A and B are shown apart, each in its own frame.
Chain A
Amino acid sequence: MRLRLPERLSLVDVILWGLRVGVVVFVVTGSFATLSQGLLGFDSWRSLVIVGLAQGAIYALIALGYTLVYGVLFMINFAHGEVFMAGTFTAFFAATALADAGILNANPFFGLAVILLVSMVTSMIVAVLLERIAYRPLRRAPRLVPLITAIGASLFLQYTVRSIYGSGVRSYPRIDILVGTWDIFGIPIQKTQAVVIVAAVLLMIGLYIFVQRTRTGRAMRAVSEDKDVAAMMGINVDRVIATTFAIGGLLAGAAGILYVFLFNVVSFSMGFLAGIKAFTAAVLGGIGNIVGAMLGGLFLGLLESVGPFLFLSGFGVPSTNQLRDVVAFTLLVLVLIFRPYGILGRKE
């Protein structure tokens, strides 16, 4: 059979094919080299996987905010990372107050519930205000206009928090019941990681049921299909959009507390990276697709945790951990270039 080339092979096609082949060759040879050198034992790989899954669960929760908003408005809410940050940072003060009063460790479930509530509610308020002030007036503007607004809002929120709460990195107080490990099927897992994964999965199931089964969820799906028809059916489109932002905010606030379980620190700039990565997860799963965002988040966390070592150390690259973010960003770039509709999405 003859190999059929396109009639005109443009420079861009050549570069794209070069990129595809290059990435595949790089990943395969890198992984092969690393594995054949036997640099890490099975236990180390397993713990990298668990770390990755826990991290990925958090990305997934934030990614849901992007996906929900994209689903109804077709805009990238670039400031969603800041929504996540604002809640987490605010809850820090609740956490220290509770810890100082001795409540956090005397009555940990109550304490954690309060912290979670503060974080979720703050994030929700920020998200709803953002929509009302910055996005709603631009609903009919050309596509890049709301995106630029969102970038501006992201910067504004970041530096507002910096000016109001201070620029330092703050450490959350220690939560005693989350210290240590559990043995699950003979595998030792840090309690924090287990809690993060379970909580994230529960929240995601909750959201799925909400969107599929409740009246508001149905209204959200209707608005996402067609705003005009939804409005004609008597759905208050503005309220549904505000609700969507609110839910995204609630999930981001919850993700913030889970993030703190893993990393313990908050700062005004923490939202940027987390936001970009969550967006990557959302696109990876097919933006607008809720299940996709969950899977995308888990996959990204896994790849980011295992990837740098697996692909790079075989080539003798030093300190691969510095390149974690490069792996995430490269994935973002590659997904957007080659499969912008995501793994679960369909071609437009």
Chain B
Amino acid sequence: MTASSLIRNARSEPCRPWPRHVLSHDEWSRMAASLVEEPTLALLAIWADTVQVHALLLDDAAHAVLVASTDIVAGTYPALSPGRPLAAWFERLVRDLWGHAASGGLDQRPWLDHGHWPHAHPMAPRPAPYGGASEPPEFLTVAGEGLHQVPLGPVHGGIDAASHLRLTARGETIVRLEARLGYTHKGTLALMRGKSPRTSARFAARLAGESTIAHSIAFARAAEAALATEAPRRAAALRAVMAEIERIAGHLGDLGAVADAAGFAILSARCGRLREAVNRSAGIAFGHRLMMDCVVPGGIVADIAPGGSEAIQRALLGLAAELPELERLHDAGVLIERLSGCGTLPLGPALAFAAGGPVGRAAGRSFDARRFHGYAPYDGLGVVVPVLTEGDCDARARLRLAEIAESIRLLHALLNTLPADGVSVPLPAESGDGIGCAEGCRGDIWHWLRLDHGQIASVFVRDPAWAHWPLLETVARGSAVADLPLVKASFGLTSSGVDL
């Protein structure tokens, strides 16, 4: 039996819009073993609560989401990492936060816990007195002659998120790259517990700054699904307006960062100016340049300001007029030579790690959460999703340019046909499980939450960077040390969304 049918046949518990299947340890182990034979079943996340561990899987072939759970028995559960390498990172997270051990897991080193918290296992019912994690960290060893190690971070030399990269190189060639994250762990999941979705929305908005709207939408949709309510049509349309503005701003920022890393100042300057115009129009329309806290469960916090729609459309006209010039600058000589063939991600790893956003789509994995069924208002807009297959820095840049053009089209369509109903509905103080997704500028974002009489009992968040960090490790192998900043900028890597 395949892993997906093992999950589908198991007893199900209510969770909207996809039921959650509870597997026995035996079924879970068989599911873990058969994951290897079902490469189209992508693992999105593993998380836990105090009594169960959960896995979120995406059946790429059937375009369906599967949620599987198993009980924690004597503090352990069977590991998924032998069948899905990405699972190892989540298993380390589950151990650090809840104290549940993955038996048979590939990697038992601490992850988020660097040995500085007041207690170990802070999400467990009774956090343990300290005794676990260690500094200095252990890194994977590399055997061979003429190797040297370069430690990079957690403080980097640019305006960059805290992370540590351990490079092992032979001469100028990277032999192994290992990322160590967890530096920016803020205990967000623990802060969200025990609060209403409305109060917790400000944490969802601060999971990853560049995707504040996408995270807010995924969180709001999860809360609305759990409570079987829906945001008004006007709110859904304005959420999409904000999401597309954020996507354009994010893509311009990433295009600029890549041009900067390649030393191509003129493109970086252009992107910076255009991005500023987009952010300012968002400030006029929604009262905040990044639109932080504008999306709340039940709808949006306030209607678009008078004149906001015109301000956005003006910024878009300026952007649309300059897009051909950006494309010309990108294709003209030096930059394309620097980016072509640099940081190439093959389709295989992109599928295995469920790479989302421009990273996945530039490598041929076409998934875009906006095309996932039931995502209003996108289901009526006919979103065109460009897909490339080269997988290198150049493909990611061209994909971002193509997506900006599509977002401009979507924004005009949305703003010209805004529905006239309300901007929010009150949420009932009821119980239930819900899952929500949204497509951010870096990829698909998934939120799961469990409400108990209107308060969050448990919550987990899957940021696209979960896939992109391990893929950076894969792509870096065999590439030049000097290419690393460029590839990192091209992937658009941030820490906060995965450090939680």
Does A associate with B in a complex?
no
> What residues of chain A have their CB less than 8 Å away from a CB belonging to chain B?
none
> What residues of chain B have their CB less than 8 Å away from a CB belonging to chain A?
none
